Amino acid sequence: MSTSLSRGSGSRFELFAVTAPGLESITAGELKTLGIRGRQQPGGVAFDGDFNRVYLTNLWLRTASRVVLRLGRFHASTFYELERFAKKIRWVDFLPATGSVEVRVTCRKSRLYHSDAVAERVLAAIARVAPPAVELQIAASSHQDVGNEKPDAKQTGKAVANGDAIPNGDAVPNGDATDRAQSFIVRIVNDECEISADTSGELLHRRGYRQEVAKAPLRETLAAAMVLATGWERGQPLLDPMCGSGTIPIEAALIGRRAAPGLARSFQFMNWASFDQRLWKEILDEAKTAILNVALDIRGADRDAGAIQSATRNAERAGVAEDIRFSTEAVSASFASLEDVADGAGWVITNPPYGIRVRESADLRNLYATLGAGMNARRTWRIGILAAEDSMARQMRLPLRSRFDTQNGGIPVRYLVSEKLAGARNRSPKTSP
């Protein structure tokens, strides 16, 4: 058994920050700011650490979906080998006192190919040490490489919502039915077995503030990735002219204030028998002390008054309402309102409609052209947009470069950022063309 967490609370573990496809480098950059050296892999970033890093990364990572902890890795071509090594794992450290435990299994190119039979053996090992009040269950097996598809609910008799994938296809659910369950992920490929524990519980994009959403909501993790990928600095103004329920402005404000995204939520590791309440309090106290009291010029606009009302309430729950100026206005009007902004660099970061339906094309071409005109009027500013069609982005007539490719709502998208315009200079907004 090459890896086992049976050496006590001071052990160093193999950890993995799960990300949406394309965001691995951004999450690796976040880990670096936390003093952690990560190794990018498809679907996330691997790194080593102790319980301190388990707590720290769940609290601070803005672009990761989950943090999982590797419990063991061993060869298993027979059920005897599986049972023998599964019994060596110190399950008791990662079990809740009450609630439920679920095991998810993926088997590929292995002699042990029956996922339910594998799950039953692993559950039997867990049952030996599980508290009496803990319910054990087998979760639906999943073979997707990207967690945007729904596992077949018929396999478990209950609905399982969209999940985010562990690298190489070990999906973890995020539905309400499983949010309180401790998930263990078993992956057997070429007779090599790897067992991991989910440390996060609910997906990390669930910060707790976004209780109201508008049409086509954007996940908080993706919104944060958009802001971080631009290089926006807290002293620069930022506008989202199609802000919907306010996710991009709110995430920018949290970044600008240096507020940890997980301060207002709980995590699965808090239910473990090994949970160190004192250490967690120290990490929380340090995070609260790190919050900056700075002035930010962040704006969000949308022509839907209901969306702006939702955005305002979401910002209040996030504690950044004073940092964002929301307004009900069209895209062109939101650019015109920037006349009160002082000279210098600024950013427009937005998630416009994608134009998937043919009948939307004409209106969207005009929308993107309006964005381009607004940017040409402020030549020291730059823009970052999430786009599904390069042809739409070209309507802006701006030099754009891709920062990352990912998916949003199952739609392949590309995050495009404008280059600095040649000959751009500081101009007074009142005299800009």
CA distance 133 to 128: 13
**pLDDT number for residue 4:** 43
Q: What are phi and psi of 248, to 5 degrees?
A: -65, -50
**pLDDT number for residue 215:** 74
pLDDT top residue among 310 and 428:
310
**pLDDT number for residue 213:** 80
pLDDT top residue among 145 and 216:
216
Average the pLDDT over 90-114 and give the result: 95
Mean pLDDT of the chain, nearest integer? 86
The pLDDT of residue 178 is above 80: no
**pLDDT number for residue 391:** 86
Percent of the chain topping pLDDT 70: 84
Model pLDDT for residues 26-44, shown as the tens digit of each residue: 999 999 999 999 999 999 9
The pLDDT of residue 220 is above 70: yes
**pLDDT number for residue 359:** 52
Burial class (CB in 10 A: 0-12, 13-18, 19+), 2: exposed
Model pLDDT for residues 251-302, shown as the tens digit of each residue: 999 999 999 999 999 999 999 999 999 999 999 999 999 999 999 999 999 9
The pLDDT of residue 93 is above 60: yes
Average the pLDDT over 178-202 and give the result: 91
Average the pLDDT over 239-255 and give the result: 97
CA distance 407 to 219: 11
Q: Is the CB of residue 54 less than 8 Å from the CB of residue 269?
A: yes
The SS3 call for residue 231 is coil
Closest CA to 269 of 94, 129, 60: 94
Q: Hey, what are 137's tokens?
A: 């269950």
**pLDDT number for residue 174:** 37
Q: Hey, what are 243's tokens?
A: 């802000």
Please report the domains of the chain, with CATH numbers, ordered by start residue: 3-198 (3.30.2130.30), 220-262+276-288+295-421 (3.40.50.150)
CB atoms within 10 A of CB 183: 26
Distance of CA 305 to the CA centre of its chain: 28
**pLDDT number for residue 370:** 96
Model pLDDT for residues 337-396, shown as the tens digit of each residue: 998 898 889 999 999 998 765 456 778 899 999 999 999 999 899 999 999 988 889 999
Our separate counts of H helices and E strands in the chain read: 11, 18
Angle subtended at Cα 168 by Cα 162 and Cα 172, rounded to the nearest 5 degrees: 30
The pLDDT of residue 246 is above 50: yes
Average the pLDDT over 237-248 and give the result: 97
Average the pLDDT over 172-181 and give the result: 47
Angle subtended at Cα 430 by Cα 429 and Cα 433, rounded to the nearest 5 degrees: 80
CA distance 246 to 204: 18
Residue 423's pLDDT band, with cuts at 50, 70 and 90, is low
Q: Which helix (H) or strand (E) holds 345?
A: none
Residues whose CB falls within 8 Å of the CB of residue 376, separated by 6 or more in sequence, listed in order: 397, 398, 433
Residues whose CB falls within 8 Å of the CB of residue 26, separated by 6 or more in sequence, listed in order: 19, 63, 225, 228, 229, 404
Residue 141's pLDDT band, with cuts at 50, 70 and 90, is low
* Longest CA pairwise span in the chain (Å): 78
**pLDDT number for residue 421:** 63
**pLDDT number for residue 58:** 98
For residue 127, what are the CA distances in angstroms to 68, 78, 136? 21, 20, 8
**pLDDT number for residue 422:** 56
Percent of the chain topping pLDDT 90: 76
Model pLDDT for residues 126-140, shown as the tens digit of each residue: 999 999 999 999 886
**pLDDT number for residue 343:** 80
Residue 191's pLDDT band, with cuts at 50, 70 and 90, is very high
